[in-house]
Chains A and B, each alone.
Chain A
């Protein structure tokens, strides 16, 4: 049985967290994700969870660190400038192998930028973002429905791998309203055993959660362990949607909101007799480089569209190598592509 709802993306993300069994949320006001914070304050009250409006983004991410130490499902959310402030905490969470979910409803930058949609935090999300060698799992929803679904998935993956997971949306997805379906999911919450959690040492040896490893070679061993985990995640959890790629000479690559616009551009191009396909990475890290490389067995041209000056395109170029020509079309600072603009770029490839 399913429930049908009409919500904005920010609220759908919050409902996803509740369905995933999130019992702790800490956040700080910033546009365009404020509906999510407001929604969590209401739903945590209704479900008996904990909501804290923190004094800063730093405090919010560290409260999440604490809740995660306690073995509970915890989330924080923000938009680009606030996510920059959380990077210190994210590095500690990754170093301590603590699961949690961080939502970034991106806006234009750099600096205070504006409050319009953007995808210019891609590097920050997929390359680590804070100090040290680490990776966060990054999911890129492209609809209000997916903001709900991928938030649930983010909690499951975070717990499975003891790693922070990021839901990377943008102001367009966060603000727009779409109908969505919520599947009846009694007992959906997977009970993950967390023997490492801090619960008080009754009947066991004390648990220590730390990222400082001073002994000679100890930190290198810890890093090797983390890298092995990241390889496992890459092998197991890479997700991608492909459309019309088997026989297409031209491949579009786009994620999130832009993937929907690119899909419309693809339809226009195909109606015009052009053989165009679409690759939409669902996980931005791990990046679906194999799917992109495979598509280039046929495709000779790849067009990457992002609401940035060109960030994901670097990963696409690494995946493509010299198998095809890669072009880029970006909009920046809150600019949003139209399908006609992308179609014009396809025509001149």
Chain B
């Protein structure tokens, strides 16, 4: 069902005019839009091939107006590798959540970065498995209550939150790594600049680029959208600092 278009909203060409399924206050919609705006600004829509993950963004192709493949959980960078190696003239990006990239797909992201594949990775870190009901993710903060950490994440029992960018930074194949957030208008604009840089790296053939986007999950954080945005600013960024982790 199409909603009547608000005359103030200008749709990006790469973004379909569709009602999305995301919860109120979720960051995915914003991040989808940033990617689509960047693609339009570079004029590469007809060259882009996106890879959708398993997780909340699995049906991203219902919102993106370009070629998309859907990968098995965590195998997203391997699928991107196959596509990019066969079609180096295309612009290939993966869109992955923290379960997809930092748990089941840890091996794939490390080795794809280590091979220096000339692809762009957008990593959405909201600290929970959203699609399956709010379970603990590798990135869940210490003490954070989730569906599988009733009393909060225990470092002794559950291990430490994983900082993927810092982990990848030691790999010569990883060329550009930046962490951004979409919790405020200011940070959202910075996020867009980082995403644009990550695509530009690929366009220029400079190799593996990844942007981690801290994102809100009000539903499984048990918060109102405003509170969730404040939590990123006050809590999440103290453990996952914003900024460029590596650029070369």
Contacts and interface: CB of A to CB of B under 8 A. Distances in A.
A63 B66 contact: no
B141 interface: no
Interface residues of B, number: 37
Contact of B82 (A74, A92, A96): A74
Given A58-B75, A66-B80, A200-B48, A208 B68 contact: yes
Interface stretch (B27-35, B84-92, B161-169): B84-92
A67 B45 contact: no
Nearest to B44: A200
A64 B59 CA distance: 22
Contacts of B91: 200
A1 to B, nearest CB: 32
Contacts of B108: 55, 58-59, 62
Contacts of B83: 66-67, 69-70, 198
Interface in B183-214: none
B232 interface: no
A209 interface: yes
Interface residues of A, number: 41
Interface string A286-302: 00000000000000000
A273 interface: no
A64 B75 CA distance: 11
Nearest to A59: B78
A198 B72 contact: no
A111 interface: no
A198 B70 CA distance: 11
A62 B74 CA distance: 10
B68 A209 contact: yes
B82 A24 contact: yes
Contacts of A200: 46-49, 66-67, 87, 90-91
Interface in A10-29: 23-24, 26
B70 A201 contact: no
A332 interface: no
Nearest to A69: B69
Contact of B86 (A23, A60, A88, A201): A23
A54 interface: yes
B107 interface: yes
Given A201-B67, A209-B70, A62 B78 contact: yes
Nearest to B48: A200
Interface in B72-104: 72, 75, 78-87, 90-91
B82 A208 contact: no
B49 A198 contact: yes
Given A58-B75, A59-B111, A203-B46, A198 B82 contact: no
A181 interface: no
A150 interface: no
Interface centre among B68, B82, B87 (most CB of A within 10 A): B82
Contacts of A124: none
Given A201-B67, A206-B66, A63 B78 contact: yes
Interface in A225-247: none
A214 B59 CA distance: 10
B56 interface: no
Contacts of A7: none
A65 B82 contact: yes
Contacts of A69: 49, 69, 79, 82-83
Interface of A: 23-24, 26, 50, 52, 54-56, 58-60, 62-72, 74, 88-89, 92, 96, 198-203, 206-212, 214
